[in-house]
Amino acid sequence: MKKFENGVRWGIIGCGDVTEVKSGPAFQKIKGSTLVSVMRRNGKLAEDYATRHNVQSWTTNAEDLLNNPNIDAIYIATPPGFHMEYTLKAAAAGKAVYVEKPMGLTFRNCVEMIDVCQKFNVPLFVAYYRRALPKFIKIKEWISSGEIGDIRFVSSTQYRPAVESKALENASWRVQPNLSGGGLFFDLASHTLDILDFLLGPIQEAKGFASNQNGRYKAEDIVTGTYLFESGAHGIGAWCFTAGSHIDQNEIIGSKGKISFSTFGNEPIMLTTTTVNEEWKFENPLHIQQPLITTIVDELTGNGKCPSTGKTAARTNWVMDQLVENYYR
């Protein structure tokens, strides 16, 4: 892999909502990183983004970024339905790739993305940014240090009310399987499944059921499943997007205690044993992807390692495929 000793020059394909605060500004704030150009199909919106974020150029054609010799790496922030297409093109152009999550529409897509990036010897990173946040690094430290003993099982429960506007649901790419891979499960549960991979290691077997109970759109709106980690730990999960209230709760149970935390919330994480009841507070960065993007820049410049790669992200797509197989088979 080429080392960018003089810094990394970025281009963004798809400068939409996710790039406004979560990710986009970070490319300008990280040492050794520069955002050179952005692309969006709507020229007025692309120009507006470039002006507000002090980006030197903008375009409506992704090929302009892919063919630009002054760009070293491409951040693909489109809906997942376009991730593979642009990843393959970026790899062929010799650009390092940072792609939004979920990595692809299917595990098979992910494998092709990995293979092509390997063919052209370009690195592939995926925006599962929780792997670099203090909250989840602390949980991993508790697990690694044996605070809760040997891991027995993990449970995840996430549900929220249905979106009230049917027009909004029909317009959202997040509930169109050809653009997202499935329903909100693929957009939201992917974060939980990936962080469990980070904390507990790969899942080697998964079984599940997916259904559409509300009939507001064609994608699944509820998924339940069980899984077995390579470590021997068990897992259970339930995700429902048409419930009457909102819950986001995970528990990792060990032989000596448990760790309780949410995937998306800002409340403290809890460590509970027979002798300890510890609450750990944290504060997320303004640009929440910045810690992960920093690890990417560090790896590209030969100064570190990024924890979220194509290989780790593909495992999450594989698990999701298993859990919804009965619905899309």
Question: Distance between CA atoms of 288 and 248, rounded to whole angstroms?
Answer: 19
> What pTM did the predictor assign?
0.96
User: What is the predicted pLDDT for the residue at 251?
Assistant: 98
Nearest to 310 by CA among 109, 136, 169, 146: 109
DSSP bridge pairs for 35: 10
User: What is the predicted pLDDT for the residue at 168?
Assistant: 55
Lookup: tokens for 313:
């992200």
Question: Distance between CA atoms of 92 and 247, rounded to whole angstroms?
Answer: 43
240 neighbors 205 (Cβ within 8 angstroms) = no
Q: Which residues of the chain have pLDDT under 70?
A: 1, 164-171
User: What is the predicted pLDDT for the residue at 163?
Assistant: 77
Q: What type of residue is 25?
A: P
Q: What is the pLDDT of residues 251-291, one digit of tens each?
A: 999 999 999 999 999 999 999 999 999 999 999 999 999 99
Nearest to 156 by CA among 223, 231, 256: 223
Lookup: tokens for 182:
């499935």
User: What is the predicted pLDDT for the residue at 63?
Assistant: 98
User: What is the predicted pLDDT for the residue at 6?
Assistant: 85
All structural domains of the chain? 8-129+289-307 (3.40.50.720), 134-283 (3.30.360.10)
Question: Distance between CA atoms of 220 and 184, rounded to whole angstroms?
Answer: 8
Question: Distance between CA atoms of 44 and 49, rounded to whole angstroms?
Answer: 9
Lookup: tokens for 22:
């979560």
Lookup: tokens for 65:
């970024």
